[in-house]
Amino acid sequence: MNPGQHPLLIPILLLGGALASAALPPAWRRLRLGVAGLAVLLALGVAVDLIPLAAGGALLPSFGQVVPGVPLTLRADLTGLVLVLMTSVAALLALAAPGRRPGEEAAILVTAAGAAVAALAGNAVVLFAGLEVANLGGMLLARAASGRLSRGALVAFAIQHAFALGMLAAAVELIVATGTSDPLAVPPSALGVGIAVPWGLAGASRLLAAMWWPGPAGGRATRAALAVGSVPAGGAVLLRLIAGLSGSPPLTLTVTLGAVGAAAAAGGAALAWRWRSDPQRSGRALLVAAAAPVVALAGVPGGSGGAAAGLLALELAVLAAPAWSQGVGRGPIARGLAAAALLAAGGLPLGFGSAALVIELGDLARLGRAGAPLLMALGAAASVAALAALASCRHALGRADSGSSGRRLRPDAALALAAGALAALLPGGAAELVLGPLAGAGAVGAPDLATVSGAGGAWPGGYLTLALLAALAAFVCAAALLGRPLPRPLPAPAGPPPRPLWRPLLRSRHAVGPAWRRLGAALDVVDAWLETQPGLVFAVAAAFAAILLFR
């Protein structure tokens, strides 16, 4: 195969591995896991092998056209390949999670294949196909994890599917107007409000999926669906839109995504503070608050650097979610791991979130008065989220859930936390390896390994992390010399956890439920009667023929 056609191997390997894993008997657990891991490693190797070729220019293999104007084109540039690497690493960590059930390996590979197609999509139609494949993988994960497809999973699928259809409608409009749905092949003025707004909302729905995806945020199925599918695929949608707009988004898009991002940030931070005594719920709210600035910056001129930094911080936070989401373990190591994961999700310097947050707010600050409202909203929400993370961390250190396993730590969460800590110490290295390819040339710079320079100015993130560690060590030493006890963790609160804010809304559902059931039963009776009427099929066919002939 020509090297220019190698990008096609990535989804082929992942889907082939999914088929091979699904065909093996359920009892052959190790072999199924080995086949799935080998497929992900091969896809990862192909992506790494393509990076030197993509550095000299994007590879654009095309595989024909379904209809005129809709070619099956992939774009293997640095942005897409870095997203594929992110998806592949997340898939490997998801496969390594303990307690994996039969069928989940294949579902993870299907999700990864969809995210890879979205990352490498050469036009909006192929991007839509990747989103739908990733959606299918998420449904398969929910089905394999619980043995059935819950109503929550159906609702999550419906939300993602609806926004993806909106992007497809925008792609059709773009094809009619310009003859192509490739956002990088048309002038930025062609991406008007009717195209850019549905496109941006499709990406926002993916990044904010932690808000409504069923199951524990760090559970096997939910964490895999979010880290392998939703975050990389949503990042691909928004980054392609930012690149197509070339720094000149429509004002309506800026206002829409800014409002969505500000509302999600405020809601996530408020819920994290409300549920600070419950690390599982507080952590999920912190993930929503971390995703919100990425959504807001997708519509801001020159916001690609902050969006890329926030995307990396969000992916690391989701990968570390099993530390607090499955119940805080009994051992001190498990409790410490949960506390560190909560602090990283809250944007504190233990992870890359602090550097990402300053880059994001810097992109807004350089806009002056135009970006001041959004800057204040996101900054206030980030402060509340950090306080909520500190409070939830103290509760996590003082509790040991009775339902949690006796496992001392989660290796996959520990690896994600270690990667986040390394990125916090060396943000310049993260900028060179990840942020630069994601955001494009010139959006994010690295004066040295411990400093990141964005559009809003330099940020010495690595130095701040070292200063924080030195301050903590000095605080502990001073407390020991003065004989003062250190702050003690708060014990787990007695009684039920706080009720969700949307629980009162379900009362109307219980009130109208009997009426809806009676209406459904009546419709079933009418439908059964219509099916038994002679000639009904011919009458319906004649009606359709009359409509087509006489209009």
CB of 351 closer than 8 Å to CB of 418: no
Distance CA 495, CA 512 (A): 31
Helices of type H across 96-183? 104-119, 124-146, 151-178
Tell me which H or E stretch contains 458.
Answer: strand 457-459
C-alpha distances (whole Å) from 341 to each of 1, 375, 389, 459, 536 are 44, 26, 9, 23, 62
The per-residue pLDDT for 298 is 92
The per-residue pLDDT for 441 is 60
The per-residue pLDDT for 216 is 77
The one-letter code for the residue type at 280 is Q
Place of tokens 């449904």: 139
User: At residue 487, does pLDDT exceed 90?
Assistant: no
User: At residue 383, does pLDDT exceed 90?
Assistant: yes
The per-residue pLDDT for 323 is 87
The per-residue pLDDT for 196 is 93
CB of 16 closer than 8 Å to CB of 42: no
Helices of type H across 398-505? 411-425, 427-430, 436-439, 461-482
C-alpha distances (whole Å) from 518 to each of 416, 506, 513 are 51, 19, 9
What is the mean predicted confidence (pLDDT) over 259-265? Answer: 95
C-alpha distances (whole Å) from 350 to each of 146, 355, 418, 467, 478 are 34, 10, 10, 11, 22
Distance CA 433, CA 312 (A): 11
Least confident interval from 261-275, 374-388, 522-536: 522-536
Name the percent of the chain lying above pLDDT 90: 40
pLDDT digits (tens, 9 = 90+) for 230-253: 999 999 999 999 999 988 899 999
pLDDT digits (tens, 9 = 90+) for 497-512: 555 444 554 555 556 6
454: helix, coil or strand? strand
Least confident interval from 173-187, 267-281, 526-540: 526-540
Question: What is the value of pTM for the model shown?
Answer: 0.86
Q: Is residue 191 packed enough to be buried (19+ CB in 10 Å), middle (13-18) or exposed (0-12)?
A: buried
The per-residue pLDDT for 551 is 58
Q: Which has the higher per-residue pLDDT, 265 or 28?
A: 265
CA 269 to chain centre: 18
Paired strand residues for 459: 452
The per-residue pLDDT for 507 is 56
Least confident interval from 28-32, 51-55, 326-330, 539-543: 326-330
The per-residue pLDDT for 175 is 87
CB of 118 closer than 8 Å to CB of 155: no
Q: φ and ψ at 313, to 5 degrees? A: -65, -40
The per-residue pLDDT for 262 is 95
> What is the bridge-based pairing of β-strands 445-448 and 70-73?
unpaired
| Helices vs. strands in the chain: H and E counts, helices first | 22, 5
What is the mean predicted confidence (pLDDT) over 140-150? Answer: 80
453: helix, coil or strand? strand
For the chain, the average pLDDT equals: 85
The per-residue pLDDT for 401 is 53
User: At residue 495, does pLDDT exceed 60?
Assistant: no
User: At residue 405, does pLDDT exceed 50?
Assistant: no
State whether the Cα torsion 118-122-127-129 is positive or negative.
negative
CB of 240 closer than 8 Å to CB of 275: no
CA 372 to chain centre: 27
User: At residue 60, does pLDDT exceed 90?
Assistant: no
What is the mean predicted confidence (pLDDT) over 347-361? Answer: 90
The per-residue pLDDT for 501 is 47
CB of 479 closer than 8 Å to CB of 485: yes
Q: Which two structure tokens, joined as six digits, stand for 410?
A: 């989660």
Residues 6+ apart with CB under 8 A from 243: 79, 183, 184, 304, 440
Which one-letter DSSP state was computed for residue 337?
Answer: H
137, 275, 279, 277: which is closest to 213 by C-alpha?
Answer: 137
Distance CA 40, CA 113 (A): 10
The per-residue pLDDT for 406 is 44
362: helix, coil or strand? helix
Q: Is 347 left (phi over 0), alpha (psi -120 to 50) or beta?
A: left
Q: Which has the higher per-residue pLDDT, 83 or 501?
A: 83
To 10 degrees, what angle do helices 353-365 and 411-425 make?
50
User: At residue 489, does pLDDT exceed 80?
Assistant: no
Return the domain boundaries, the chain. Answer: 1-246, 253-494, 511-550
418, 492, 430: which is closest to 459 by C-alpha?
Answer: 430
Helices of type H across 179-278? 193-207, 220-224, 231-245, 251-274
Question: Listing from the earlier edge strand, what are the strands of the sheet with 451-454?
Answer: 445-448, 451-454, 457-459
> Sorting pLDDT into bands at 50, 70 and 90, what band is 402?
very low
The per-residue pLDDT for 116 is 95
The per-residue pLDDT for 338 is 87
State whether the Cα torsion 269-274-278-280 is positive or negative.
negative
